[in-house]
Amino acid sequence: MDKKEFIIRQLGRTKNKRYEAYVVTRIIHLLDDFSIKFITQQYISRPEGRALTDLFFPQLKMHVEVDEGQHLKIDNIDKDKIREADIVNATGHEILRIDVTKSFDDINSNINEVVEKIRTRRDRDTITPWDIDAEFNPQTYIDRGYIDILDDVAFKTIKDACNCFGHTYSGYQRAGASHPNPEIMLWFPKLFPNGLWDNQIYDDEETIIERNEDNEKAKTHIISHINNMEKHKHQRIVFAKVIGNLGDILYRFKGLYKLDLNESSESEGLVWKRTATRVKTYA
């Protein structure tokens, strides 16, 4: 998908709100700077829970919410959809609001202010221009030296994620891969019940629970992991398999997690706790 295609599809997405298309297209066209990436209808994870924002600028860590006077937007979200969705970490993000219950002139003034704020942030942060090819290319992150949760990194394939850590795969399908540090494993889980595994990630993304849906298999798996540290690494770099907002599969970086031996149990499952939100990359 090239930039033209991506932009057209983002702006053409089904509207949840009456005024969303007006506000979102007006901001994008008045901003008139396609070196700034944007995403429409982005799920975000915050300490107080998950939510959906109408417009998201990943480089600037800014969101725009079209405010139609509803309360507690999170309540309106389809819980099933959110589990599989591409969810970005919104720590340190700014959320701007457009109140569309106001007059037409007021809405347009409000949009102008938001566009000005976006421009100011762009000029202050001197962002790297949006390059749709580079952002999915492992070499970008190898050159940068790290992958950070604040950059909302996602790959299109497992092999691309692996290749940020010393691999040179041309294809790779398994849910685990090795890491230059022998105590760490790369993990590509689905973080929702999927018929085989009943995995979960907490809203704050600090904790992941891993458990087989079959009780017998779950027990064997859990005991083996807890007891055999040689065979089963107790640290994992996690790229969760998610559905991007254009319906594409993505593997989104979630951080480095460590097995919590105290909280893990046969009944609970394996409990993984996040220990880092930035990891080193390897050529």
Q: Which residues bind a second copy (CB under 8 A)?
A: 2-4, 7-8, 11-12, 15, 18-19, 21-22, 25-26, 29-30, 32, 34, 103-104, 107
One-letter amino acid at 202 equals Y
Q: In angstroms, what is the minimal distance from the CB of 79 to a second copy? A: 27
Q: With respect to a second copy, which residue has the nearer C-beta, 29 or 217?
A: 29
Alpha carbon distance 143, 153 (integer Å): 14
Q: With respect to a second copy, which residue has the nearer C-beta, 16 or 137?
A: 16
Q: How many residues does the chain have?
A: 283
> Nearest-CA neighbor of 63 among 55, 73, 71?
55
Q: In angstroms, what is the minimal distance from the CB of 15 to a second copy? A: 7
Helix 3-11 vs helix 20-31: crossing angle, to nearest 10:
150
For residue 223, CA distances in Å to 26, 189, 220, 228, 264 come to 56, 20, 5, 8, 10
Q: With respect to a second copy, which residue has the nearer C-beta, 20 or 160?
A: 20
Q: In angstroms, what is the minimal distance from the CB of 267 to a second copy? A: 51
- 3-state SS, residue 249: strand
Q: In angstroms, what is the minimal distance from the CB of 273 to a second copy? A: 44
Q: In angstroms, what is the minimal distance from the CB of 19 to a second copy? A: 6
Q: With respect to a second copy, which residue has the nearer C-beta, 19 or 202?
A: 19
